[in-house]
């Protein structure tokens, strides 16, 4: 077996909570690491029920300086087609909640900004974790 423990850093972006409104998580700093994966754990919606009228849209932006952000592109992500405005995921059906979304970032920027936007009425448990890998200096633990 290889040593993963000493070669990653894990940071909580959003501790487990029921989310009922749009939020922006900015200045997610990737300094000192050469890979990143955002893990978004989404529970079962207890609001009006996820649908075409009640849904979450997740967008991801990146930045060199932590001030000026631009939408990521498909080339910045692994196994994912990014749509207009940096949309990396939409959860708009009851068959799409209670899931773990894995977003692999391979862009060249130092900072990320993740936004989840509520449309309609939602009440969804969520947590977001950042896993940074391929450190410039290891071990990191």
pLDDT in tens, 60-118: 999 999 999 999 999 999 999 999 999 999 999 999 989 999 999 999 999 999 999 99
Give the domains, in start order, of the chain with CATH numbers: 20-135 (2.60.120)
Tens-place pLDDT, residues 9-66: 999 999 999 999 999 999 999 999 999 999 999 999 987 889 999 999 999 999 999 9
CB 60 within 8 A of CB 113: yes
Q: How far apart are CA 2 and CA 42, in angstroms?
A: 30
Mapping DSSP to helix (H, G, I), strand (E, B) and coil, where does residue 26 land? strand
> What's the predicted TM-score (pTM) here?
0.94
């Amino acid at each position: 077996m290889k040593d993963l423990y000493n070669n990653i850093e894990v940071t909580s972006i959003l501790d487990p909570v029921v989310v009922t409104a749009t939020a922006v998580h900015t200045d997610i700093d990737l300094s000192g690491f050469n890979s990143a994966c955002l893990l978004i754990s989404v529970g079962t919606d207890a609001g009006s029920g996820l649908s075409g009228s009640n849904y979450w849209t997740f967008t991801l932006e990146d930045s060199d300086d932590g001030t000026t952000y631009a939408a990521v592109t498909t080339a910045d992500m692994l196994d994912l087609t990014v749509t207009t405005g940096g949309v990396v995921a939409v959860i708009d059906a009851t068959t799409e909640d209670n899931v773990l979304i894995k977003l692999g970032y391979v862009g060249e920027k130092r900072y990320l900004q993740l936004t989840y936007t509520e449309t309609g009425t939602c009440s969804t448990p969520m947590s977001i974790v950042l896993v940074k890998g391929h450190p410039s200096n290891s071990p990191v633990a």
